[in-house]
Structure 1
């Protein structure tokens, strides 16, 4: 999801609370459940719809009610359906031997001119003609096809493999040879009728932004009201786009819609899937994104997903299935500074995306305390300018200084203010697009501003339009969710990092740049932040690699990008839990030297090791019988999977470190080559690679090795030890992070 302003929440909180109480459901209400039945059966017999109807009739006991309760059937790429059920009916279905899982439908949330140059993918980068045959599927809020980023001039017809459709509707008259497919899914009528078009049209802006980041054509002179001016383009500008609209204003992104989109996209013939959507991590067989991406992986389709926006807190990472490419967000070497000049001549610089040019040299300046209304203290923190604390008469026409918030510009605009200076409790790297002239300053500068306000009878200030400035990069964005994950403890997530902070890309002109209906600024490009913005960068990078290696599996492409990533300078408390293997380096990834490939049978062995039911695993792959976990080679080692990174979690009582990782690499570099291992590890952590030399005499040959990790008890207060394994033949550098994480005991 992109990081949008949430300052209107205070204004409408009581409305939401009342609506929630009114709509609370009971055990006597029928609610939508997803009934997942695994892969499609190869054999002839009754139709999928008849099978679903029969199951429902038996569970409900009334054929008519069963028919009315069914909402949707999945039957193109996997088997399942959605039905409105009572809890006891859902329980009966979960006990049927043909059913893998039954889970309630939930709503999930949505998690440039510079970024591709920053990543080394310049306009003159070598590309393959096959790039135009690649179809990138985007599951999002729809698409604004009139954007110049989706101009199809010079494009031929869609590739012959394409089987998808283009659904028309309000504000969406059809596709073209760039955007070759568009569908929408709204099975539970989640949208807002006043703000949503029931069509593939994007009335939010998010889907247009992510789509153009991945595969938009080059547009010269792109900017947001002159900010970040340059040529905007996607990572694979020759690739095609297929939009699957699954998210709605006010309604989020429904599980059943997500699964329907996956079901279609896999069948339609897409090559990559980009999903900038997330929710709380769940068991893989109860998670629609994990389920959909598993079936995509079986068909050779890699799914890129955002890691979430709940950072910098540990344990917040989402979309953690090992077959998903989980993406963290980083900043690039550009930031947006907004300067303030005070009446005493002092100047302060903050951050924001402020598109407004001042009309006067100076404006009256006040703060929350001076602008308080008579009853303000009864409503909230007046120093923070909380809604309800300020007097409209004391705010109108003035710039207002607010303490401890980056989201009060909406409140000040609502009261008729001329601008706002917001002092942050902690340093922030997010430049929000503001509703009126505004900037966010660090606490130290805020104290100086407040002192000035209290030192004179006529305080004044002016806020200047934002300008761009250079900064040191890359770095993990503060909002980007961190590991460790809680589902499969010894798989490191996120996998990789990509630009997601202050990204300029195409935007829908059916919505204002802030999304607020009172904001009249409509623009073809917008600057927004989130792991949502990082996700399509990685989808595009994967598409770029695939254009050179169309026969590579999703795991091989993922490995190529992970092992060639640029390790980042990281905070000790985050380590690779924030950035995974590092920042993507797509140019290097097309020649990785070695790849860690993962077969379907390896994933199945991994699921066995993780304790998943053999019957459910059999259904997952379409087998008629229970999957016998002993029929495959057991998943060996600490993590049980041939993953490009290595990770182990220790509980708080663990006394020593002991782990063994078994790995197999495939030679995709030069036929005759010798790779030698080197390890960089911290004091107290021993890492041994056996063997430490791998010899290859031909392409595609596989060689195996093991990594033995040992260590004494961690020092008190230490939770992370980080090492790096590198295989090198002097021409290639194949890097894998090795991370040990220990849960620290709670203090007190």
Structure 2
């Protein structure tokens, strides 16, 4: 099931370039390219803009053209620029000594009252407010609306002393406060934008920001639905918004500009609920920006994508990123349909409409078909153009399909819609008219039978109510692994609540994003990995407030090894959930950490085949050589990751892998950990040594995990296992996953 309406994918992407002043046939062939040049050179004065112009002059042959085609130079946190280039010029720049990558600018897409209580972070949870209030969460998104009460700064002091950012004013945005301490916008494709400002006209950025760090707001709801106290995971933290998403999408060059600024401004964490198809690490703006953030001790949390339940769909896969899948909480929104025969049919949606005390005529799409337009599509699914307006007007219509039929029925004057899905909906969708989503094979059959066996069928759709449901589970839309860039690193890393999340919203947007929708609210209920990402960001900020000296990798390790394992009904196992759903309270005391610093990632890049020259430029050094970094043992993945994953590319291959790992003691000084292995039939796992004896804090010990097994049966593509280090106080769990490519995928 893929209902786009509530996944915050409301942008219509257009790929275009504004006219430039270059004359002749080249004018329309030039496209924006990003030229990435790694770290800023150290030890000498560096004229950024002049160097970039010199490079452009060298490939164009004209200083005048060079100045005309340069769009923007990055230079606060890393080195690079954007220019409108011809393909041959881009190719020539790729050969320059100081250039790591040259890639075309593309557009990426945008991928709570109950959720924090569900995760155990109640209003009175233990906090270190003096540190939390000095934590700055940077958010790359659609902007922010300070009209939302989640950003009230009552009781907040001035911004932390290290803050170097700014607050840019503009249309509908008069300034920041001591809660939202920074706001900037980036739209490099168009230097002058009418009525531009950091204000949120979409609602997405306000929602993600308030989920991460909104202050408590009692009585929050969407027209009474989901009523409770809405708040972020770190309500005392500050927020800095970097608006990078517009009607045309979220462009690479704008996102890189935002990373460049956010790192220099002094944020502690970066939250990015945006993504696109996986790319080589240094042709991916999120991977590039998050690498430079990691180098400066800043963890970047990213959404995994909304293209599930398909495998091979996960996004934002660089190992230094925390990649977040979407899980459920123990609440959903039920919408009951009462039929004229006295029976009730309950579905799932977010229906804000209180019905009049009367029944409405009920019809199916098949019976409402406009047979003169049968070639337009399937009337049973209520496809656009297939229904008779006369038959739909004033009626509730039962449709088969995948969602959004309510928009079609509204345009035809219908009174409501019931949509029959292949499977029961596992998240709610706000309907633009009264509506409910039911399971077609059960509840839907009951409705269809009633329609076809009753002379004048009638029904009424009631307003949605909150109900409890078993949790956690991975939501159907959440993207799954395996990933395609680094074969033996499991992504997503972990899961966080991403379904039916009530959080702040912009009054400038309608509840559904449809301009015909008259409903506006300062809160909204949205679903998507976009909503999961800020939950994980806030959990990381919470851990950091107790452990300010921990590295980004240490914080991610703590969240992964203390996560709650999950079962997934479509059998994608850890390809959907990673280590499991976050448990922020446990992550403060993980016992052991799989820690890494920049050299760990550089060693990994060396193993992956990145050249000495590229790494030299990447880290801003001279004469770098991969052999100077003490190589780890010949591990299957070559990195000290909290999870272990092997991707078997040949269906007939035996299972053979060795993972070398090191763990750092952050529990008790004198402690003994015993390895507990859980493995399925057909997979042998040996841990050497299987006992780790620590005598002091921060002590680091190493071990290896050896996987062996015969070729996997044809009908099995996933073997799921785990290793748990246990000292009776701590359970430090790492998922182990063996994935065999299917014959169809290999073709």
TM-score between both structures, scaled by the size of structure 2: 0.96
Counterpart check, 1:610 vs 2:611: no
The residue that corresponds to 1:478 in the other structure is 476
CA distance in structure 1 between the aligned counterparts of 2:280 and 2:178, rounded to whole angstroms: 39
Q: Does 536-545 or 355-364 show the bigger shift?
A: 355-364
The answer (yes or no) to whether the contact 1:190–1:248 under 8 Å persists in 2 is: no
The residue that corresponds to 2:456 in the other structure is 458
The residue that corresponds to 2:144 in the other structure is 143
CA distance in structure 2 between the aligned counterparts of 1:142 and 1:189, rounded to whole angstroms: 17
What whole-Å deviation, never above 9, does each CA across 1:91-146 have from its counterpart, x for those lacking one?
11111011110000000000010000100111111000210000000000000012
The answer (yes or no) to whether the contact 1:296–1:302 under 8 Å persists in 2 is: yes
Q: In structure 2, which of residues 575, 578, 584 is the aligned counterpart of residue 577 of structure 1?
A: 575
CA distance in structure 2 between the aligned counterparts of 1:9 and 1:273, rounded to whole angstroms: 21
The answer (yes or no) to whether the contact 1:27–1:86 under 8 Å persists in 2 is: no
The answer (yes or no) to whether the contact 1:144–1:507 under 8 Å persists in 2 is: yes
CA distance in structure 2 between the aligned counterparts of 1:279 and 1:190, rounded to whole angstroms: 24
CA distance in structure 1 between the aligned counterparts of 2:570 and 2:7, rounded to whole angstroms: 32
Distance 1:71 1:9, change over 3 A: closer
The residue that corresponds to 2:131 in the other structure is 130
Q: Does 437-446 or 228-237 show the bigger shift?
A: 437-446
Give the RMSD, CA atoms, in angstroms: 2.3
CA distance in structure 2 between the aligned counterparts of 1:414 and 1:613, rounded to whole angstroms: 58
CA distance in structure 1 between the aligned counterparts of 2:659 and 2:417, rounded to whole angstroms: 54
1:242 to partner: Cα distance = 0.3
The residue that corresponds to 2:22 in the other structure is none
What whole-Å deviation, never above 9, does each CA across 1:47-71 have from its counterpart, x for those lacking one?
1010001001101111111101000
The residue that corresponds to 2:338 in the other structure is 341
The answer (yes or no) to whether the contact 1:3–1:528 under 8 Å persists in 2 is: no
CA distance in structure 2 between the aligned counterparts of 1:428 and 1:466, rounded to whole angstroms: 14
The residue that corresponds to 1:684 in the other structure is 682
Counterpart check, 1:154 vs 2:148: no
Output aligned runs, 1:586-605, within 5 Å.
586-605=584-603
CA distance in structure 1 between the aligned counterparts of 2:262 and 2:417, rounded to whole angstroms: 45
Distance 1:189 1:454, change over 3 A: farther
Q: In structure 2, which of residues 321, 325, 330 is the aligned counterpart of residue 324 of structure 1?
A: 321
1:296 to partner: Cα distance = 0.1
Q: In structure 1, which of residues 380, 388, 391 is the aligned counterpart of residue 388 of structure 2?
A: 391
The residue that corresponds to 1:79 in the other structure is 79
Output aligned runs, 1:60-459, within 5 Å.
60-128=60-128, 129-189=130-190, 198-249=196-247, 251-443=248-440, 444-459=442-457
Q: Which runs of 5+ in 1 are unaligned?
A: none
Distance 1:7 1:274, change over 3 A: closer
1:186 to partner: Cα distance = 0.5
What whole-Å deviation, never above 9, does each CA across 1:262-308 have from its counterpart, x for those lacking one?
00000000000000000000000100000000000000000000000
The answer (yes or no) to whether the contact 1:329–1:500 under 8 Å persists in 2 is: yes
Q: Does 497-506 or 654-663 show the bigger shift?
A: 654-663
Output aligned runs, 1:18-33, within 5 Å.
29-33=29-33
SS at match of 1:441: strand
SS at match of 1:665: strand
Q: Does 384-393 or 147-156 show the bigger shift?
A: 384-393
1:370 to partner: Cα distance = 2.3
Q: Does 613-622 or 647-656 show the bigger shift?
A: 647-656
CA distance in structure 1 between the aligned counterparts of 2:27 and 2:437, rounded to whole angstroms: 47
Q: In structure 2, which of residues 479, 490, 493 is the aligned counterpart of residue 492 of structure 1?
A: 490
Output aligned runs, 1:628-643, within 5 Å.
628-635=625-632, 636-643=634-641
1:368 to partner: Cα distance = 1.6
1:452 to partner: Cα distance = 1.6
Distance 1:80 1:312, change over 3 A: same
Q: In structure 1, which of residues 509, 517, 520 is the aligned counterpart of residue 518 of structure 2?
A: 520
1:671 to partner: Cα distance = 1.1
CA distance in structure 2 between the aligned counterparts of 1:414 and 1:582, rounded to whole angstroms: 42
The answer (yes or no) to whether the contact 1:30–1:85 under 8 Å persists in 2 is: yes
SS at match of 2:282: helix
CA distance in structure 1 between the aligned counterparts of 2:4 and 2:486, rounded to whole angstroms: 31
TM-score between both structures, scaled by the size of structure 1: 0.96
What whole-Å deviation, never above 9, does each CA across 1:311-345 have from its counterpart, x for those lacking one?
00111000000000000000110111111111111
The residue that corresponds to 1:54 in the other structure is 54
The answer (yes or no) to whether the contact 2:143–2:185 under 8 Å persists in 1 is: yes
SS at match of 1:149: helix
1:585 to partner: Cα distance = 0.4
SS at match of 2:705: strand
The answer (yes or no) to whether the contact 1:342–1:462 under 8 Å persists in 2 is: yes
Counterpart check, 1:659 vs 2:666: no
Q: In structure 1, which of residues 710, 713, 716 is the aligned counterpart of residue 714 of structure 2?
A: 716
The residue that corresponds to 2:699 in the other structure is 701
Q: Which runs of 5+ in 2 are unaligned?
A: 20-24
* Matched length: 737
CA distance in structure 1 between the aligned counterparts of 2:106 and 2:62, rounded to whole angstroms: 26
What whole-Å deviation, never above 9, does each CA across 1:608-641 have from its counterpart, x for those lacking one?
111112211111101133x311111224300000
The answer (yes or no) to whether the contact 2:18–2:190 under 8 Å persists in 1 is: no
Q: In structure 1, which of residues 550, 564, 567 is the aligned counterpart of residue 565 of structure 2?
A: 567
The answer (yes or no) to whether the contact 2:717–2:739 under 8 Å persists in 1 is: yes
